[in-house]
Amino acid sequence: MHVYFDHNATTAVDDLVLDAMLPYFQKESGNPSSRHASGMTARQAVNQAREQVADAIGVQPAQVVFTSGGSEANNLFIHGAAGYLKPASVVVSAVEHPCVMRAAQELARNANGRWNLRRLAVDNLGRVNLADADDAMREQQPGLVSVMLANNETGVIQDVSAVAEKARGRGAWMHTDAVQAFGKIPVDFTSLKVHAMTLSAHKIYGPKGAAALIMDKRLLLKPLIYGGGHENGLRSGTENVPAIVGFGVACGLAKTRLAERTARIVAMRSRLEQGLVEMGAVIFGSGATRLPNTCYFALPGIEGDTLVVRLDKAGFAVASGAACSSVNPGQSHVLEAMGVEPMLARCAVRVSLGSNNSLAQVETFLKALSSVADELKRMNLVTI
């Protein structure tokens, strides 16, 4: 049986989530904008989901804007905010997900010099350098700042509230991509002191195709998609009712199951990393506070992509980097920003544990990894 150890890429839909979604594919298939009974039923379902998402992170339902995914939500904040603000600097960490980094790059590239891009340096553990954040805020007027709550590759958790205080002190709008963090650690919108936050359903055992941008009520954004004025005019298009319903239920489950899930997963990762260290592995970001489920490691001399393929054949799904970036193979920009030597970075493999994994699976994985590594060494495939 294949063991799935790639939960930072996506998760399987929970049974309770699927059960909640099923009626809205056929029996309750109305358009939420329709005025008849079927449409009203769909609208009520969307409203309930909005309440569930809001409750999970401590905001009001009116602050939740549904989108098709985390990438759209991140782009909506960066380009939508830029549409209202005076041109200034867009400040992002050097380890942001590509859907934030590239959105910021495009904003700067197409603004004819009116918007400037400033990347915040990180230390060798992948944590944002707060002194560099101070410098960035002083160098020129920041308009937008975006720092992810937890990194999708290393799992390293950022001090978002500290950066947010600096950004607010300079009058900038602060955003955090919390897609990887939510469901794995407590996430509270107010405590993070941000103006906007991104969440996604498929990282928390919900469906693909549903996400949200959480906004301060005072924020004004220019839409990316025009049409019928859905989502209070911020995201036109008929709502994906089944996915939104699933998103709402998944948020509720993420909140109620967090403590139990965390305890189990911490125990699994501890055993995993103990075994990896015994094999001589380097664990990236291990000295920083990380998501409890994430382990990004390298066995020096064994290329990550090769190891991923061999482990897949052995029955284990792991990753050599971010799934969203797999179309652009090459060194991880996260490890590069951390100052990891390129040859070691090419050996990187990510294991991200989930609720259905077990200690027995971790033990079996360690045995398989040891066997595969020994085989590659015997075949003289350790030189890269």
Q: What is the CATH number of the domain that holds 373?
A: 3.90.1150.10
CA–CA dist 40, 28 (Å, integer):
10
Closest C-alpha among 367, 352, 371, 344 to residue 151: 352
Residue 33 lies in a domain: yes
- What is the C-alpha separation between 174 and 313, in angstroms, rounded? 44
**Are residues 50 and 37 part of one domain?**
yes
Q: What's the distance, CA 214 to chain centroid? A: 14
pLDDT score recorded for residue 146: 98
Strand-pair partners of 119: 92
Same-domain pairing of 215 and 272: no
> Are 153 and 98 found together in one domain?
yes
The rounded distance, in Å, linking the Cα atoms of 383 and 168 is 49
What SS3 state is found at 9?
Answer: coil
Res 331: pLDDT: 81
- CATH code, domain with 60: 3.40.640.10
> Does 275 lie in the same domain as 241?
no
For the chain, the domain total comes to: 2
Question: Which amino acid makes up residue 97?
Answer: H
The single-letter code of the amino acid at 257 is: R
Domain annotation covers residue 84: yes
Q: What are phi and psi of 196, to 5 degrees?
A: -155, 155
| 157 and 243 fall within a common domain | yes
Domain boundary among 231, 253, 275: 253
Structure tokens at 96: 């942001």
197 and 262, same domain (yes or no)? no
Same domain, 42 and 146: yes
How far is it, in rounded angstroms, from Cα 321 to Cα 384?
17
Q: Are the CB atoms for 103 and 79 separated by under 8 Å?
A: yes
Q: Do residues 36 and 75 both lie within one domain?
A: yes
- At residue 140, the pLDDT reads 79
pLDDT at residue 378, as a whole number: 84
Express each pLDDT in 215-229 by its tens digit: 999 999 999 899 988
User: In whole angstroms, what is the distance from residue 156 CA to residue 158 CA?
Assistant: 7
The last residue of one of the domains, among 230, 253, 276, is 253
Cβ–Cβ under 8 Å, residues 147 and 172: no
Q: Is 324 a catalytic residue?
A: yes
**Predicted local distance difference test score (pLDDT) of residue 77:** 97
Residue where the block lists tokens 């033990």: 363
Query: First CA to last CA across the chain, in angstroms?
Result: 31
Residue 75 inside a domain? The answer is: yes
> What per-residue confidence (pLDDT) applies to 383?
53
Residue 384 forms part of a structural domain = no
The whole-number pLDDT of residue 322 equals: 47
**Do 177 and 120 lie in a common domain?**
yes
- Domain C-terminal end among 253, 285, 317: 253
Rg (CA), the chain: 21
3-state secondary structure 261-274: HHHHHHHHHHHHHH
- Is 383 inside a domain boundary? no
Let me know the angle formed at the C-alpha of 127 by 349 and 118, rounded to the nearest 5 degrees.
Answer: 105
Q: Are 213 and 76 in contact (CB under 8 A)?
A: yes
Measured CA to CA, the distance from residue 270 to residue 353 in angstroms comes to 11
d(CA 13, CA 207): 6
Evaluate whether residue 299 is within a structural domain: yes
- Is residue 337 one of the residues assigned to a domain? yes
Phi and psi at residue 159, to the nearest 5°:
-85, 75
Full pLDDT tens readout for the chain, 384 residues: 799 999 999 999 999 999 999 999 999 999 998 999 999 999 999 999 999 999 999 999 999 999 999 999 999 999 999 999 999 999 999 999 999 999 999 999 987 778 999 999 999 999 999 999 999 999 879 999 999 999 999 999 999 999 999 999 999 999 999 999 999 999 999 999 999 999 999 999 999 999 999 999 999 999 989 998 899 889 999 999 999 999 999 999 999 999 999 999 999 999 999 999 999 999 999 999 999 999 999 999 999 999 999 999 999 999 996 444 444 456 899 999 999 999 999 999 999 999 999 999 999 999 999 999 999 888 865 555
Residues composing the chain: 384
318 belongs to a structural domain: yes
Q: Is 285 left (phi over 0), alpha (psi -120 to 50) or beta?
A: left
What is the phi/psi pair of residue 350, to 5°?
-110, 130
Report the alpha-carbon distance of residue 243 to residue 234 in Å, rounded.
Answer: 19
89 plus 225 within the same structural domain: yes
Nearest CA to 349 among 306, 314, 297?
297
Range of the domain at 278: 3-10+257-378
Q: Which of 251, 295, 324, 347 is catalytic?
A: 324
Identify whether residues 178 and 298 lie together within a single domain.
no
Tell me, yes or no, whether 247 and 262 share the same domain: no
pTM > 0.85: yes
